[in-house]
Amino acid sequence: MSDARPRNPRSIATRTGDLGTTSLLFGQRVAKDHPQIEAVGTLDELNVAIGFAKTTRPPGASAEAFERIQKELITLMGEITCAESDTDRYLNSKFAKLDEAELNVIDDAVAVIEARQPKFDGWATPGATLHSAALELARTTARRAERRLVGLAAHGKTVRPVLMQYINRVSDLLWLLAREAEQLKTE
């Protein structure tokens, strides 16, 4: 049965995915459960989880670091959405790319928090505060995204090492931020 209604050209409902496919960055169509789409979807979930953590931050706390990571995740998603056959095209494009500079910012943030020596006793039990729980949700989503990125190699997709390092460090940073957020309840 065909839908005879005219399609609004400005609608988000393009209907091109109605049969279970979607496009990679330069137009190649793949199944919606393709490993690259799974990885990008998990990175998108991480972006949402970080957005949630951002909204639960204590009054007066800056959103800047969360927003920077969210923008960097969008950059990472763009690269992961590129078909392996289009890697050179992507790397030579004007699209933003993550590199050592973004990784260093995350490493520096980890070092700053570690220098404050947040207290933790064994395995974390999330939920001491809303903010710490939101950070833990983001952290576990980051770990799942990391697993999806690792899995891409088995499907012929090359992931630059800096991308793997970046997502690994983001999860470390989120873990440390959650420990600090827990302490706000007890202090």
In degrees and rounded to multiples of 5, residue 165 shows phi and psi of: -60, -40
Mean pLDDT of 14-34: 80
The 10s digit of each residue's pLDDT in 86-136 is: 999 999 999 999 999 999 999 999 999 999 988 777 677 788 899 999 999
What is the structure's pLDDT at 9? 73
Within 13 Å and on the Cβ side, how many CA atoms surround 68?
13
pTM (two decimals): 0.88
Kindly report which listed range (9-18, 62-71, 120-129) carries the lowest average pLDDT score: 9-18
The DSSP line for 74-139 is: HHHHHHHTS-GGGHHHHHTSSS----HHHHHHHHHHHHHHHHT-----SS--S-SSHHHHHHHHHH
Superfamily of domain 33-186: Cobalamin adenosyltransferase-like (1.20.1200.10)
Vertex 12, ends 27 and 137: CA angle to 5°? 85
